[in-house]
Amino acid sequence: MTLPTHNLLGRWSIPVFLSLGVLLGSFVLVARASNAVSYFSNQATTCLNCHVMTNAYATWRHGSHARVASCNDCHVPHGNPVATYAFKAMDGGRHSYVFTLRNEPEVLRLSEGAVPVVEDNCVRCHADQWLMIRLADSEERTCWSCHHNIHGDVRSLSATPNARRPTLPSAGLFDNPDRMEDPSP
C-alpha cells in the first residue's frame, strides 16, 4: 500500500520550512553580529572584533610592523591559500569559542599550533638578516624569546583597566580601516 505523497508533504512542510527558516535566520544573525565576512579580509581592524585584542592592535599600530605588515602577515601561514584559510578557520574557530564563552586567559599567548606559523613568518620576512637565519635553526628559541616587545610589554588583560583604547569600528564591513581614533592623549 502506498501513502499519498501530498498528505505527507503537507503535514510536514510547515514544521520543516519553519525550522529551516529559524536555522537560516539564526545563522545570518550570528554572521552579522560577529562580522564574519571581515575574517576573509586582510584588514588588521578585523582583530578588533574581539575586545581583548585592542591592546595588541594599539601596540601593533604604533610599532614598526604597522608600516610593513598586517596581523595576517605574521599570524597566518603563507604556503598556499588552502593552508591559509584552513588555519584561519581552525584558529578563528578556537578564538570564537574561547572569547564567546569568556575563557580567555589573563595573558594572551600563541597557541601551540600558532607558534611554528609565527616563527616561520618571522624568518620569511627577516631572512636577509644573518642572525635571524642562525637562530632559526634552533628549536629551543623563538624569535620573540628576545624580541618580546613586538606587541609592547606582556601584561594581563586587567593590568591597565583605564587604558585608552582605539574605538571599535561598527559591526559593518570596514570602508576605511584608518578611521580609528588615536589612543594617545
How far does Cα 160 stand from its chain's mean position? Answer: 22
Write out pLDDT tens, residues 47-104.
777 777 777 888 888 888 888 888 889 999 998 899 998 998 888 888 878 877 878 7
User: What are the CA-CA distances from residue 112 to residues 12, 77, 91 (Å)?
Assistant: 48, 14, 11
pLDDT at residue 23 above 90? yes
**Residues in CB range of 58: below 8 A, 6 or more apart:** 165, 166, 183
Judging by beta carbons within 10 Å of its beta carbon (0-12, 13-18, 19+), is residue 44 exposed, middle or buried? buried
Cβ proximity of 130 and 124 under 8 Å: no
Whole-number pLDDT of residue 148: 72
Best CA proximity match to 118, nearest among 153, 69, 82, 77: 77
Quickly state the pLDDT bin for 173 (edges 50, 70, 90): very low
What is the mean pLDDT of the segment spanning 143-154? 71
Whole-number pLDDT of residue 156: 53
pLDDT at residue 11 above 90? no
Whole-number pLDDT of residue 82: 93
Whole-number pLDDT of residue 15: 86
Q: Could you tell me the three cell numbers for 39?
A: 575574517
* Average pLDDT taken over every residue of the chain: 75
Instruction: Give the SS3 label for residue 27.
Output: helix
Judging by beta carbons within 10 Å of its beta carbon (0-12, 13-18, 19+), is residue 39 exposed, middle or buried? middle
41-146: CATH topology is Multiheme cytochrome fold (1.10.3820)
Domain positions in the chain are 41-146
- φ and ψ of 153, to 5 deg: -65, 140
Write out pLDDT tens, residues 110-139.
888 899 999 889 888 888 776 655 655 666
